Amino acid sequence: MNIYYPPQFWKKKKLLFGITGGISAFKVVGFVSHLVQAGSDIQVIMTKAAQQFIGENTFNALTRKPVYSDLFESGEKILHIHLMREYENLVVAPATANIIGKMAGGIGDDLLSSCFFVDPKKVIFVPAMNVDMWHNPIVQENLKKLVAIGTRVMVPSSGNLACGERGEGRLPEQEVFLETLYYLLCSPQSLQGKKVLITAGPTREYIDPIRYLTNSSSGLMGCSLAAAARARGADVTLIGGPMSVRIPSGIRYIPIVSSQDLKTATLEHYDKTDVCIMSAAVADYRPSNPSAVKIKKQGKTELILNLIQNPDILSELGRRKVSQILVGFCAEDGDLLVEAPRKLQQKNCDVMVANRILPGESGFEVDKNKAWFLNKNGEMIDIPLMDKMELAETIIDHLVAFYFS
Ligand SMILES: Cc1cc2nc3c(=O)[nH]c(=O)nc-3n(C[C@H](O)[C@H](O)[C@H](O)COP(=O)(O)O)c2cc1C
């Protein structure tokens, strides 16, 4: 299961986790365990009601630290002030309707609510409750008040709820939780207000209704770019062929199948886009005359396919470019550093990311990639072989440095 954040993001992060009395408190055990293993320093605070749902000892064992719940815990320091100064953020998960109401109403009658008043901008609420509780206007009004003073809120998922009902109010699954937390904590939000269009994955060019020509692109690079752009505050649209990886959360996803679908969808969104990153592995050719019925092998010892060239979408985008930053991807096993600058110029791109295809090491169907970042001013940055999510962040940061700072 792919989760889109760079592996080193959680190393040495100092996070307070405030657990309140919701039925989904048990799920937070998994979140805390994952973050501790990823290298974060997690300190847990529990409300009295939370202890009805999960024991302190579980978090104590996972974090190898005492769990705090008493506001009047005696010690050298005033606990709620000390914790909020010492830790980078306070994640309240699950956040009950009650704690949201207390904090919005200015009540600090226990350790967790008192922490909130020390620095509300550091607080991230992860509400989880029954669908009707979630849609209760008082809860929504309280959240608006909290957002207005700089507190961040992770919108709950929709689905089966512990109470047996269905709807919004569900605590997000672990991969969505971790990814969204990465988006919320990522700083600076250097692409805030920008629209980023990304294409990813392979295309399928049908020979008959069930057979097709394709390639081994998994879509991991494009999905990682989508998450990295989203984490920097961009409004991201991902157009993707049939991919073998999970689609990142928090973005708009448009599934397509063939290169012609990809062209139609890309052109539809291109005019409203600030940055367009074409990382899909688009087929160069398609069968000129696909069969409407399954091709039978009876009586045939040979099958000759006639292929015609697909439209060059990147060149078309280059021709239509007005103010968009157009980023092409080229993957080569041969003369990469001759091909990449040629394509950059010929297709009127602003940037070309050149990928080295080394089977099993870099490029298709592996988690790592070796790339060069070339821009139209002739500058070239040699990026070492790295994890695709790390590479995605590096590419987005170079784009920001060249075009948005
Ligand atoms: C079985 C059970 C499950 C509950 N689940 C939730 C929940 O998921 N979300 C919520 O907002 N409140 C839930 N509540 C209500 C809270 O436990 C109650 O409001 C409590 O006062 C919250 O205290 P706290 O916010 O200090 O932790 C539940 C109560 C019970 C008895």
Determine which residue's CA is closest to atom 16 belonging to ligand 1: 21
Q: Is 233 left (phi over 0), alpha (psi -120 to 50) or beta?
A: left
Tell me the pLDDT tens digit for each residue of 42-82.
999 999 999 999 999 999 999 999 999 999 887 888 999 99
Mutational test site, ligand 1, from 96, 103, 113, max ligand atoms within 8 Å of CB? 96
Label the pairing between strands 195-200 and 152-153: unpaired
Ligand 1 atom closest to the CA of 102, numbered from 1: 25
**Cβ(47) – ligand 1 distance below 6 Å:** yes
Share of the chain above pLDDT 90, in %: 89
Q: In the chain, where are the structural domains located?
A: 7-185, 195-288+303-403
Whether the per-residue pLDDT at 162 is higher than 90: the answer is: no
Half-sphere exposure in the Cβ direction for 104 (13 Å, CA) = 21
CA of 96 to the centre of ligand 1 (A): 6
- Residue 290: pLDDT band (50, 70, 90) is very high
**Domains 7-185 and 195-288+303-403 equal at CATH topology level:** yes
**Cβ(22) – ligand 1 distance below 6 Å:** yes
Share of the chain above pLDDT 70, in %: 99
DSSP letters spanning 299-351: T-S-----EEEPP-HHHHHHHH-SS-EEEEEEEESS-HHHHHHHHHHHTT-SE
CA of 146 to the centre of ligand 1 (A): 20
* Residue 149 CB-density burial (10 A; 0-12 exposed, 13-18 middle, 19+ buried): exposed
195-288+303-403, superfamily in CATH?
CoaB-like (3.40.50.10300)
Tell me the pLDDT tens digit for each residue of 354-391.
988 777 666 666 788 899 999 999 999 999 999 999 99
DSSP letters spanning 115-175: HHHH-GGGEEEEE---HHHHH-HHHHHHHHHHHHTT-EEPPPEEEE-TTS-EEEEEPPPHH
Whether the per-residue pLDDT at 158 is higher than 80: the answer is: yes
How confident is the model at residue 363, as a pLDDT? 62
- Tell me the CATH class for 7-185: alpha beta
Mean pLDDT of the chain: 95
CA of 99 to the centre of ligand 1 (A): 9
Whether the per-residue pLDDT at 106 is higher than 90: the answer is: yes
**Cβ(98) – ligand 1 distance below 6 Å:** yes
**Cβ(20) – ligand 1 distance below 6 Å:** yes
Tell me the pLDDT tens digit for each residue of 218-267.
999 999 999 999 999 999 999 999 999 999 999 999 999 999 999 999 99
Tell me the pLDDT tens digit for each residue of 297-352.
888 899 999 999 999 999 999 999 999 999 999 988 778 888 999 999 999 999 99
**Cβ(344) – ligand 1 distance below 6 Å:** no
CA of 80 to the centre of ligand 1 (A): 23
CA of 89 to the centre of ligand 1 (A): 23
Longest dimension (CA), the chain: 89
Determine which residue's CA is closest to atom 1 belonging to ligand 1: 23
Distance CA 362, CA 358 (A): 5
What is the set of active-site residues?
A: 163
**Cβ(127) – ligand 1 distance below 6 Å:** no
**Cβ(112) – ligand 1 distance below 6 Å:** no
